[in-house]
A and B are shown apart, each in its own frame.
Chain A
Amino acid sequence: MALRKRTLSSQQIQEEYLLVEAAKQNPRSFGKLYERYHHQIYLFVYKRVDDEEITADLTSQVFLKAMMNLKKYTYKGVPFSAWLYRIAINEVNQFFREHKHKRTISMEGKDLVLMMEEVEEDRTEENLRNLIQVMNHLTPDEVQFIELRYFERMPFKEIAEVYRITENNAKVKMYRLLGKMKKLMEQQKGDKVSRPAPKPGTKTSPR
């Protein structure tokens, strides 16, 4: 299964750029961008905090900060949403730093299958379970990276814009992350073969 990119065409990006420029001149014009991306950002936040009220608050903060900092926004040939995602990630991270709230990872089954192919594993029930286990061994930043690429279906160029790194660096980072996940999966398999099933609560640390 190929990774289908969820992005805008060049022409749509150009049109969006005009909307951004209009909003820079007149903040009232920001409404069009708000209408366009509210649902998307709301779901993005919701998938991480798993609470509708908190999500509504955080989403509102994301757009308020976007409006206040719009003059600083520079067009880099990627959708405006990449910038909104960056703000949203910061808001969500800040929320988790300030509150004792467990981070949620929301995914669709097909996303999991796709990721399974990327780490070159067979699509078995056991492997899927292992993969979910492996997700628990990743740092929040690494999880975020996986989410953007495989769950949000974001192209590398936009991921690069979100993280303020180059596209090549984003690719390398992903390549290494998948390598790490593969090793963790192999380690999990090895553990299961060499010893009896782990007792409940046993922690498996990544290498």
Chain B
Amino acid sequence: MPRYKIHIDKPLPDPSKVAQYRDFDTLYKQYQTATRFSFWQNLYHKPIYFASLVAILAVGFLVFEAAQKEHDAAFIQPPVPPKNIPFAAATVADTMRLPYADTTGIRRIFVPEEAFVDANGQVVSGKVELRYREFKDAADLFIGGIPMQYDSAELSYTLESAGMVEVLAYQNGEPIFLKEDKELEIEYYAPTADPSYSVYYLDTIARNWEYVSKDQIIPLVAHAQQENPELRYIKDVSQDTFVTRAMGMPPQQPGRPFSMAILNAGDFEMLTGRSEWLWEYMEYPGEYVNPWKKGLLRPQAQALAQPFRVAGVYELTIVGSGEKIIARLITDFSSLSQAETAYQARFASYERAMATYTAAREADRRRIEAREVQIEKYRNWVAEKAQLLAASEKGWCYRRFRIKKLGITQLGRLLPLTENIPLFSIRPQVEDQSDLGQQLQAAHRPLYLVLPQRHTLIQCEPDPDQEGQFLIPDLQVPGSVLWTSSHEEEIFFVDLEKTTDSDFSASQNNQIVLFGKLSQSYEHAAALKALLLSP
């Protein structure tokens, strides 16, 4: 006996007849009757009712709060929260231009005046802390737990990213928000100039990406050809032979007069009889030292020349211990004290001249240093231009876009996952043959199909009919890997490249067992990232 009564092309009731049954007023009355509740009448008369109401409201509020938190947390699920991508921070005044941020993607963030409001809608004044981070590749997306599914017009897509940023703002530790009519402008250093990418905002309430606009693509070539006005007067730094400016010789320190009486006249016969003369010791600047003590004048020292007299000055060259000294006979003074006084005056004059000279040298040094800084800037600018040109040839560019809401924004494009892509049910296991799939499902952990070359990932759902198995789309994209994390914060991954088409076709009921590999322990996000992106 047939199980069902099957009608084919049987006429349906006439619309006018159906309309006879349409009566909203009757339905509304039924609704009012059904929702009338005597609880309210008793509320004021019986304390137990009032207490019950308060208890129900309190429990309801707590449940709602917990559910709301779970709702929010479930949408963005970092697999290993302590290893999430850290935020960089910058404190800004009313306006800012974040120059050359310490990130590779965000180049500048332009913040307009009075851009932020607090939770009460009041415009925030004073300093504001901007916290920002990037999700540059598939590993970042995985670590950040970023969902990449995009639902539009009843179809599901996966977004492929050319760069993603999260920007938040705080004042005194409290979150603040963008004012309704204000926008932040972000300039992003992106790996592609493909115009098919657009700006999408991650709406965590609607749990979907929201299309924002197209972005502005700024070719690096144009940027590299721009002159830097600050440095334009430095024409060719490679030929710059700029060195210390010729300053002239420093002033000569006067020598201290000394009496030849200290010399042993017997050692230098030519000096005999001239012990009353004053001699000026020329080679030894600074404090006067007895030449004997310095060992310059030793008995074996030999006079090279006879004293001779030129315009009343005798000069005697003596060699002692390999050093040449010149002793000058001073005839202009009648006594050593008079010579000493004259020396003091000359020394003071020398010190003034030396101070002037030192100041001039110092000014010159500062000028040279400033010049060197400019040259360094110029060289950096030239190197940056070269880098820009090289990056431009590889397809990089600057992309500028505006955001109206703080949060996660990306340059994305659709990676269509049509209904025709077959889904495979896989049972991941680890090398010791333990059932990873069951562990993951027990721990409510998702499995991700990660496409490093497409900068995206797809969250794979548990197979509704097979415990311990997950459904993955067969995209045939090289380099696809599966990553997941257990509840013990371990990362597992499987290289799908190692599986072949025949593996799939030979599988029964589209089910295939893949063996995962337990990852090494890692210390920080960078190490984890290197691990995840390694071939």
Contacts and interface: CB of A to CB of B under 8 A. Distances in A.
Interface of A: 5, 7, 9-10, 27-28, 30-31, 34-35, 38-39, 42-43, 46-47, 50, 52, 55-56, 59-60, 63-64, 67-68, 77-78, 102-109, 112, 132, 135-137, 143, 155-158, 165-169, 171-173, 175-176, 201
Contacts of A155: 154
Contacts of B463: 172
B423 A168 contact: yes
A109 B4 contact: no
Contacts of B17: 52
Interface in B486-524: none
A136 B12 CA distance: 22
Contacts of B1: 201
Contacts of A7: 154
Interface string B133-166: 0000000000000000001111110000000000
B3 A136 contact: yes
Most chain-A Cβ atoms within 10 A of its Cβ — which of B6, B154, B419? B154
B208 interface: yes
B34 interface: yes
Contacts of A106: 6-7, 10, 12
A138 to B, nearest CB: 8
B151 A172 contact: no
Interface string B1-17: 11111111110110101
Interface stretch (B19-27, B114-122, B306-314): B19-27
A107 B8 contact: yes
B28 interface: yes
A68 to B, nearest CB: 6
A130 to B, nearest CB: 13
29 contacts: A9-B153, A27-B28, A31-B24, A34-B27, A43-B12, A43-B13, A46-B12, A46-B13, A55-B21, A59-B21, A60-B21, A67-B27, A68-B34, A68-B35, A77-B208, A78-B154, A104-B5, A104-B7, A106-B10, A107-B7, A109-B9, A132-B8, A158-B154, A168-B423, A168-B471, A169-B464, A172-B425, A173-B464, A201-B1
A173 B419 CA distance: 13
B206 interface: yes
B28 A172 contact: no
A168 B21 CA distance: 38
A7 B154 CA distance: 8
Contacts of A47: 12
B156 A157 contact: yes
Nearest to B419: A171
A108 B26 CA distance: 33
Q: Chain A interface secondary structure, helix, strand, loop or mixed?
A: helix
Interface string B453-488: 000000001011100000100000000000000000
A31 B1 CA distance: 43
B30 interface: yes
A30 B25 CA distance: 11
Interface residues of B, number: 42
B461 A136 contact: no
A56 B7 CA distance: 20
B246 interface: no
Nearest to A10: B153
Contacts of A10: 152-153
A43 B2 CA distance: 23
Given A10-B153, A50-B5, A136-B2, A172 B208 contact: no
Contact of A135 (B6, B22, B28, B208): B6
Contact of A132 (B6, B9, B21): B6
Contacts of A46: 12-13
A39 B21 CA distance: 9
B507 to A, nearest CB: 14
B233 interface: no
Contact of B31 (A67, A105, A169): A67
Contacts of A31: 24, 28
B5 A105 contact: yes
Nearest to A78: B154
A167 B156 contact: yes
A156 B419 contact: yes
B45 to A, nearest CB: 27
B77 to A, nearest CB: 15
B152 A102 contact: no
A168 B27 contact: no
Contacts of B7: 50, 104-107
B18 interface: yes
Contacts of B206: 77
Interface string B70-105: 000000000000000000000000000000000000
Given A10-B153, A42-B21, A171-B423, A102 B5 contact: yes
A28 B28 contact: yes
A175 B19 CA distance: 38
Contact of A64 (B10, B30, B153, B155): B30
A105 B7 CA distance: 6
Contact of A104 (B4, B19, B156, B464): B4
B24 A35 contact: yes
Contact of A143 (B4, B155, B156): B4
Q: Which 8 residue pairs across A and B have the least CB separation, nearest first?
A: A56-B21, A106-B7, A104-B5, A31-B24, A38-B22, A169-B464, A105-B6, A155-B154
B480 to A, nearest CB: 17
A47 B15 CA distance: 14
Contacts of B471: 168-169, 172
A10 B155 CA distance: 11
A169 B461 contact: yes
Nearest to B464: A169
Given A30-B24, A34-B27, A68-B34, 20 more contacts: A10-B152, A30-B28, A34-B22, A38-B21, A42-B13, A43-B18, A60-B26, A63-B27, A64-B30, A67-B31, A102-B4, A102-B5, A103-B5, A105-B4, A108-B9, A135-B4, A136-B2, A136-B3, A156-B419, A171-B419
